[in-house]
Amino acid sequence: MKNSREVAFDVLSKVLYDGAYSNLALDNAVKENNLNGLDSAFCTALVYGVLERLITLDYIIRKMSSVPFRKIEKSTLIILRMGVYQILFMDKVPDSAAVNESVNLAKKKKLFKSSGFINGMLRSLIRTEGKYPVPDESDKVRFLSVKYSCPEYLVKLWLDSYGEDITVSVLDSLWGRPPLTMHVNTLLTDSDTLIENLSGEGVTAEKTRFKDIISVKNTGAVDALKAYDLGEFFIQDAASALCAQISGAKPGDIVCDVCSAPGGKSFAMSINMENKGEVYSFDLHPHKIKLINAGADRLGISIIKASVRDAAEDKEFGISADVVLCDVPCSGFGILRRKPEIRYNKDMDYGNLPELQLRILENSAKLVKAGGTLVYSTCTLNPEENDRIIEKFLINHPEFSKKKIDLPDGVVRKIPEDDCMLTLFPEPQGSDGFFIATMERSSL
């Protein structure tokens, strides 16, 4: 079996060069190599740490390397990134161990010519005593990009859209693992009872400012918990739960969730509806429909009707719904703390997303009955995918009007925006970055 650093190397190679998802690649690798608790925790911290700090690490390597960055072999570069991260950002790892283990890893990967280069560069870094190179603060975009390991285009987008204070707050939220939150299944239990039951299994749980959302720590494997088997909760971020709450779905309603996988908002709306009415959950991929059905069965939800449907296609469906929710595909800039590799995806064509998002919204609007509610949401922080989509839609569809969002207790607006829209930032809510807009059909 491989040790924790070898596993981390393999995972980083798959994520950075093969396009694998960090969470899936890491989970599979940890299980395949039977890493125990401490080794698993170290491997996880190293993988996510390197991904979270990639731009910072590469900047330091560029400045300190005797070899031009573009000429550093890929495997050597991964080992350098791991070594630099351990020296600068893992206080419990002795510098000597970081260097020696990096050199040993290079030899195991048969990078014999690179081992001396790795040894020399890491020892040079140690001699700086933490005073590693950084850009001049006068170049604000460049400085923030390197400090927070966020691409310059994204830093500039946020500075231009939200201002420096919010941008720095969002960037600060990227460090460390995000909170794990559970949505309480009030069809079967309540928050106090679930917290008590979880405590009996060694889980630390507490209420949050969001309705029926609890924050948990020390869960171990979530699907091994007794409360999971009993269907007393499902994993959901607070922002996603708030979106379902704002939809206003109530008992007896007909609801459509047009981009529903993995099903969290459909589950949340079904629970808010007290399992009375109908929830049509659509997704493009058949295997995701199976996941939605399995989740509904575990939670004891019987009103979900999941089926394959391409929300981007203009097809009649024969439904007149009280609530239609469009949680559209997006750039994901609001969930970088959960999927740090998103920010480095150079192949992603974000420019085409607004066209797709508007098309899904316009097709889905046809399912809304007179007096019904149309909800648009994304997990991104980008006005072109958020505010601008709603503005274009309302210009083209006078049969819809803005519907005011009544903010629940504890939820605050951080930017000036129309009251039919809500942009959520990681602070102060502690949620993912998210956007929600609500509209009402006044006529057919």
Q: Report, as residue numbers or ranges, the catalytic residues.
A: 379
Q: Nearest CA to 444 among 369, 360, 393?
A: 369
Rounded distance, CA 200 to CA 212, Å? Answer: 20
Beta-bridge partner residues of 421: 437
Strands (E), 309-367: 321-327
Q: Give the C-alpha separation, 427 to 166, whole Å.
A: 9
The residues, any chain, with a CB within 8 Å of residue 390's CB and separated by 6 or more, are 376, 418, 420, 421, 437, 439
- The structure tokens listed for 236 are 């959901």
Distance CA 122, CA 119 (A): 5
DSSP 17-29: HH---HHHHHHHH
Neighbours of 77 (CB within 10 A): 19
Q: Which residues pair with 182 in a beta bridge?
A: 214, 235
Residue 271's Cβ-side half-sphere holds a number of Cα atoms within 13 Å equal to 31
